[in-house]
Structure 1
């Protein structure tokens, strides 16, 4: 077993893994996805989908949107873009929505409640839906972590007035998001193509990310010359501009990733996802994606069972849940993070960076989760050796920390 794997992919990368059939005779049936919840518009990122949802809700300057204090900062700029004000509500120690605090924060300007299905695990959506209906509140169901799955027999995304998703967290694509509504028509949303530069960027970046992690070696060999020429042309173009202009050229080709960040580019709000990304989603075996994500999650859960200083954020993996990551609650997160990061293990610290001013005074549980939860990839593109190596590194780090303590 390798001692160091710095190229382990933190997110799905293009390979045959997403396109083969389900493994084994007992592979689970594919749970429904957010795309089964209602009418769909495929856009370039989850944050763009949030902006479209809020626009469809009729948000105006002076309105308020309730946002979880445990959040990605990318959730906030679309609220500000609409002229509305984000109001942050508390979550429980298990990341559940604190409806008592939501009720306390309702005011005459409150128009919408944003609820996140963290790490692929749905919230108590039936209760939240009833809460919103009783108060005339619009519900935005954030399925950025929860592309597949169901709750109470309905696909994730079905419970909100609108739902958003981030397809690039579940499919091996460079970009992609979705706006879905089970309650409202989306006919008024007419998306435009992003342009040839965007289409080329989406395809090439997907391939190059795959090559960087050792996938598709034959394709990489075949594209070695054209990709080399592309790199030469890009370097020549940047050389004719100063650093600032070079940055604007890059931004003009494609929007920022839908991963956590503070930036927002309004000109991409009415652009549709790239053709290459949409084709990958259509060809991918969603049954295999769901089966392997659940299987990999359980491998990591088993690897940490009984070890000191940690426990899974969620005690079980219910049927129908398709996880984004494996979130682990740690007693000493900084020490474990340093050990694993140094070993090359890919890690996610969701909400470690939050919107300015959102701290323990706003929500003690949100601050605790942001500090103590470290998440590990369990996506379908991890091969058995990579998964075993990551589980072994995690076990070693936890045991070493226990000895040191």
Structure 2
């Protein structure tokens, strides 16, 4: 993307140029959290686990969470001893207060709300009112919507909001917990340092991908793992659904660990405005190329003003096969949120389960050119035709 195109895209964005764009030039990502009670964690799931403590949630308390979930964001709640009950989410990706309210019980203490693919939930005000009427807390998951909104890093409706950085910008790890409710206190929630060996491993893997490319690096990892004697736990005998990957489950050793110095420094050098404009431009190019492609349904057919997309989500038949074949060609396609957390009750959640089984994500990050996207679409078309 040329400088002129970036400037044109930024000029047409429905955001306050005098607010975050000015701060962007001075402090990158941290500037988005100016004048807010923000605490930087090693990972978003570490921030979620800390949020449970800050909110005063206790063993056995009930949290209503969306059935359309990754699993990694839900497991810290389970690790905290909470009872997680799922509420329905369909293709519209909405957390609907009318579908959530009937699920509230005397044990319910909080509602977990997720913004999907960069799209801010449209009924946040009604969800906030629902929480207030029942005396419930709200955890607002902004991991996929960091750069969306009139003033990016929105997340101002929940009692606590959580964010993820590495999904949008090139840092090895890092997340944030923002405390919005004035009655809550969070004295030093992340006193432990980042695990140095883990940070070094992430940086080394990133360097390997840069040298070999994603596909070759993945094949090398598989080759090394096959001879290590290590295997993932087999849960097939206890759960009829495919489990989420083992590393999605919360590692208690990471509890209360803060962001690394490496990631903290890198966050300050990020150009937020460039990232937003490039991602929006890439989404629009995908939209033009995919709109009439047979066998593809755009999960998000429109890009609202102020939305900064994370990926390009599609609904395709044979999603897992399509993902594997695209990955074999070096394309970072993902069977989005495949697998089901083994400790959750999925009964009656057919809508969300269909999404978890059929949504494919295509990369649209700010480092892709128009030629990259055209190549990805051409490869997708070829795979779908076979």
Question: SS state of the match for residue 89, structure 2?
Answer: coil
Give 1:50 shift: 0.7
Matched with 1:191 is 190
Q: What's the counterpart of residue 177 of structure 2? A: 179
- 1:161 equivalenced with 2:159 (yes/no): yes
Please point out which of 284, 288, 292 is paired with 1:298.
Answer: 284
Q: Distance in 2 between matches of 1:150 and 1:260?
A: 33
1:343 aligns with 2:329: yes
Q: Which residue of 1 aligns with 2:215?
A: none
Gap change, CA 1:264 and 1:204, over 3 Å in 2 = closer
**Aligned equivalents of 1:136, 1:87: Cα separation in 2:** 18
Question: Tell me, what secondary structure is at the counterpart of 1:392?
Answer: helix
- Partner of 1:291, secondary structure, is helix
Gaps of 5+ in 1: 1-16, 216-234, 236-241, 245-258
Cross-structure match for 2:340: 354
The match for 1:28 is 10
Name which structure has the greater RCO, CA cutoff 8 Å, separation 6+: 1
Indicate the larger mover: 47-56 or 359-368: 359-368
Partner Cα distance (1:60, 1:80) in 2: 11
What residue is the counterpart of 2:235 in the other structure? none
Equivalent position SS for 2:90: coil
SS in 2 for 1:306: coil
1:369 offset after TM fit, Å?
A: 0.7
CA distance in 2, matches of 1:289, 1:63: 39
Please give the alpha-carbon distance, in whole angstroms, between the structure 2 residues aligned to 1:21 and 1:186: 44
Report the Cα offset of residue 214 of structure 1.
3.9
Alignment match of 2:298 (pick from 312, 320, 325): 312
Q: Secondary structure at the match of 1:119?
A: coil
Residue 142 of structure 1: how far off its partner (Å): 0.6
Q: In angstroms, what is the RMSD of aligned CA positions?
A: 3.0
Q: Given the superposition, is the C-alpha separation of residues 190 and 370 from structure 1 closer, same or farther in structure 2, using an over 3 Å criterion?
A: closer
Q: Which residue of 2 aligns with 1:229?
A: none
Q: Report Cα offsets for 1:35-79 as digits up to 9, x if no partner.
A: 358311110111111111111111101210111111011122211
Contact 1:147–1:166 at 8 Å: present in 2 too? yes
Aligned to 1:40: 38
TM-score normalised to structure 1 length? 0.75
8 A contact 1:48–1:78 mirrored in 2: yes
Note the 1:52-201 alignment, pairs <5 A: 52-124=50-122, 125-150=124-149, 155-184=153-182, 186-194=185-193, 198-199=195-196, 201=198
Retained in 2: the 8 A contact 1:173–1:202?
Answer: no
Q: Would you say how many aligned residue pairs link Structure 1 and Structure 2?
A: 341
1:205 aligns with 2:202: yes
Q: What residue ranges of structure 2 are gaps of 5+ in the alignment?
A: 21-28, 213-223, 231-244
Give me the TM-score of the superposition, normalised by structure 2.
0.79
Moved over 6 A (4+): none
Matched, 1:363 2:349: yes
Q: Residue 360 of structure 1 contacts residue 366 of structure 1 at CA under 8 Å; is this kept in 2?
A: no
